[in-house]
Amino acid sequence: MPFFVVSLWQKQMGSMVSAGDVVLLQNLKIAKYGNAVEARTVQWSSLLCLVHPYQSLLSKAVEELVTGCRVGTTTKDKLRRVIKWVQQSRSTICNIKLQSNQTQKIEHLPRNWTVLEEEKPRDCFSLMEVSQLTTSCKAIVCASIGEIVPLHTSRTLGDTKKEKVFISRRVCRTEDNELVDDLLCTGCQLCGSPLDSKFEQNAVPLICWKTSSRLHSICSIYRPFLLYVWDESDYMPILVKNRAAEILFGNIKAGKVYSAYKEQMNNQNLGPRNDKDAIGRLAIDPRLSGEGLPSTSTLEVGKSLQLQEKHLPDKLNYYRVWLILLKMLLKQGKNGPLKLEIIVDPSLDIENGKFELVSATMPCFGTK
C-alpha cells in the first residue's frame, strides 16, 4: 500500500490523534515534488477519528467497526479496506507477541509522527559554553556585538584588504551607497532566503519551509549576514536572517528602510526647491493661492508658502533611523552585552547556520 507524509499544521488536529487510530482527513492539499508526494492541511481541512482505540481493530469484526461510523457509503468502503489491511498486517503494525497459551498481548504502540513542541532554551554562562554544545538546541547567552559581515556580496579580495567587508568601517561614510545593496535584497520574509541571484552562490530555494503553502512571501528583506559577538571567554560568528535582523534593528522592516533610501536618493537628484517651484505649485493648487493674505505680491505668497512648509511635520526617514541604529550597535567596546537567543546545529557550518540568531533583547540584571 503506498504511503506519504501528511503535515497537520493546525495544533488542535494533532492533539486529536492517538497512535493506531484510523482517521478521516478531508480537504487536504496534495503536492508532488519529483517522486515524493506530500499532503498538508489547510484552513478548511477537517479530521474525524473513525476507529479508537487501536485495540478495537483486533477485538472487533470489520462490519461492527464500519457500522458505528457516521460516514457515507464511499468512505465506509474505504474504511472497510483499511481495517482488513490492518488486521492482515497486525503482527507487524501492532507489534503483537504470542504467549505460550496463544493469547495475544498487545504492546505499546509508538507514534510514527513527530509533534513540533516549543523547546526550552538552555541558559549558557559564556560563548565558550555555547561553542562546545554537541547537540541541536536553543541557547541563551549574553554577549556584546563586535562586527557585522555581509554574506555572499560582490566584494573581492581587494575589498577585503580595503576593509570594505566590515560594516563598522563603512557605516560612517555618507557616500557609501553600496551599504544598502549589501545588507538588503529581495527575498522571502518568512524563511529569510534571498531570491535575487545577483550575489548569491547557493541556488535559490524553490519552496519555503516556514509556511504550509510552501510559497515564498516576496518583499524587501535583510540579506543574511554574520554577526560577530564576543565576551570574556570567546568570540563567535552568528548567522542572522531577516526576522532576527528586524528584531536587532528595532523592529524596522527592510521594506521601510529601502523605500526611505530610494526616496532620499530621488530627492538628492532633484536638488533644492526654488522660488519658481513655489510659484508653480501656487498655480496648480488653488488652496495655496494668495486670497486672504495681507499682500498680493507673488514674492510674499512664496514666502508664506515656505513658512507653511517649515511647520509641516516631516515624514519619518527609516533609512536614517536604521543607519543610526547600525552606528550605535557597532560602537565596539562602548555597548553593554545583549541577551541573545541562538539556535545551535553542530551539523552545519558557520555560514549555513551552525549558530543562528533568533532574538536579541536588553538583559535585565536583578539586584539583591
Query: What DSSP line would sit under 98-110, residue for residue?
Result: E-TT--EEEPP--
Question: Scanning the structure block, which residue is given the C-alpha cell 477537517?
Answer: 46
Query: Length of the chain, please?
Result: 368
| Contact assessment for residue 187 and residue 196, using Cβ atoms and an 8 Å cutoff | yes
Contact predicate 238/226, CB 8 Å:
yes
> What pLDDT is attached to residue 91?
55
pTM of the shown model: 0.62
Q: Sign of the C-alpha dihedral, residues 356, 358, 363, 364?
A: negative
DSSP string, 233-285: S-EEEEEE-HHHHHHHTTT--HHHHHHHHHHHHHHHHH----HHHHHHHHHH-
Q: Quick one: pLDDT at residue 55?
A: 66
**Residue in 173, 224, 221, 191 with CA at minimum distance from that of residue 326:** 173
Domains belonging to the chain, first-starting first, are 5-106 (no CATH), 122-255+327-361 (2.40.50), 261-311 (no CATH)
Q: What pLDDT, on the 0 to 100 scale, is given for residue 132?
A: 94
Q: Report the pLDDT value the prediction gives residue 331, as an integer from 0 to 100.
A: 87
pLDDT at 103: 43
* Residue listed under C-alpha cell 505668497: 301
Reduced to 3 states (helix: H, G, I; strand: E, B; else coil), residue 135 is coil
- Residue 291's pLDDT is 47
Note the pLDDT of residue 295.
Answer: 46
**CB 150, CB 223: distance < 8 Å:** yes
pLDDT in tens, the chain (368 residues): 456 667 766 666 666 777 777 777 777 777 776 777 777 777 667 777 777 766 676 667 778 778 778 788 888 888 888 878 777 776 555 554 444 444 444 455 566 666 666 778 999 999 999 999 999 999 999 999 999 998 865 554 455 555 678 888 888 765 566 788 889 999 999 898 898 755 445 567 778 877 767 788 899 999 999 999 999 999 999 999 999 999 999 999 999 999 999 998 888 777 655 444 544 544 455 444 444 444 445 556 566 656 555 554 567 899 999 999 999 999 877 888 999 999 999 999 998 899 999 999 987 665 54
d(CA 135, CA 238): 17
Question: 3-state class of 193 per DSSP?
Answer: coil
- pLDDT for position 293: 46
pLDDT at 11: 64
3-state secondary structure of 124: coil
